[in-house]
């Protein structure tokens, strides 16, 4: 039999090899659970500071909203405003931590200033120490604006990386972590009276998320 079919063994092995290659191709071409579950690495969009995203009831574009502000305040400059709000944010944070608001009190609405002072007084009564190390300002965005006959109000969101901790009189940490950075999101509302000759904006409200 073997002498009559010298190539039979080669043919059989050839068929087996083709079958194995076909199976291997099918296996390698099959999607894995990692891809199906969305775990495949994706490139993330870059984040930029001073990105402006204005939201109004009429869904106006950023340029249209800025044009409205400029019509009632010809001196308004978006970049300068954002730079100024960022600097002011850092000043208020530093002043609040130190417990001395003298450098910023003239630019804060009395009711907001009272809240800041109340928090500082409570801290001092308990002999507590607040630590806020501002690592970076990740975002500084205008999110909305309101223009009335008498004023302009602009909402600004700050996303910052901070190390925050509150320590008691024995220097024991009672809140936060001196070793861990956290992302903090705050929204501040600034107001300017249209007919007021004072070019400065006033902080009229703050809230955290």
Q: What is the pLDDT along the chain (209 residues), one digit of tens a residue?
A: 445 545 445 545 454 444 444 443 333 333 333 233 333 333 333 333 333 334 444 445 667 778 888 888 988 999 999 999 999 999 999 999 999 999 999 999 999 999 999 999 999 999 999 999 999 999 998 888 899 999 999 999 999 999 999 999 999 999 999 999 999 999 999 999 998 888 899 999 999 98
Residue of 152, 150, 131, 137 lying closest to 86 (CA atoms)? 137
* Contacts of residue 50, Cβ cutoff 8 Å, sequence gap at least 6: 79, 82, 83, 140, 141
Give the span between the Cα atoms of 117 and 175, in whole angstroms: 20
Q: Which of 159, 193, 158 is nearest to 85 (CA)?
A: 158
In the chain, where are the structural domains located? 1-42, 62-208
> What is the pTM assigned to this prediction?
0.70
Task: Tell me which fold the domain 62-208 belongs to.
Answer: Nuclear Transport Factor 2; Chain: A, (3.10.450)
Question: Strand 202-208 and strand 173-176: pairing?
Answer: unpaired
The rounded distance, in Å, linking the Cα atoms of 66 and 54 is: 9
- DSSP code per residue over 99-121: T--TTTGGGB-HHHHHHHHHHHH
Instruction: Look up tokens 């003239």; give the residue.
Output: 106
């Amino acid at each position: 039999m073997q002498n009559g079919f010298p190539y039979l063994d080669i043919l059989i092995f050839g068929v087996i090899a083709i079958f194995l290659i076909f199976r291997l191709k099918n296996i390698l071409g099959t999607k894995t659970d990692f891809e199906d579950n969305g775990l495949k690495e994706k490139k993330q969009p870059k984040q930029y500071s001073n990105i402006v995203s204005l939201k109004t009831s009429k869904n106006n574009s950023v340029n249209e909203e800025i044009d409205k502000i400029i019509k009632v305040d010809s001196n308004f400059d978006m970049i300068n405003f954002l730079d100024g709000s960022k600097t002011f944010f850092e000043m208020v944070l530093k002043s609040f931590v130190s417990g001395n608001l003298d450098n910023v009190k003239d630019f804060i609405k009395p009711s907001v200033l009272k809240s800041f002072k109340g928090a500082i007084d409570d801290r001092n009564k308990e002999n507590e120490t607040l630590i806020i190390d501002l690592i970076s300002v990740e975002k500084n965005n205008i999110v909305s604006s309101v223009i009335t006959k008498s004023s302009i109000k602009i909402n600004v969101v700050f996303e910052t990386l901070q190390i925050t901790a509150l320590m008691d009189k024995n220097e024991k940490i009672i809140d936060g972590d001196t070793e861990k950075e956290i992302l903090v999101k705050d929204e501040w509302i600034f107001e300017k009276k249209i007919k007021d000759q004072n070019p400065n904006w006033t902080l009229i409200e703050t809230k955290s998320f």
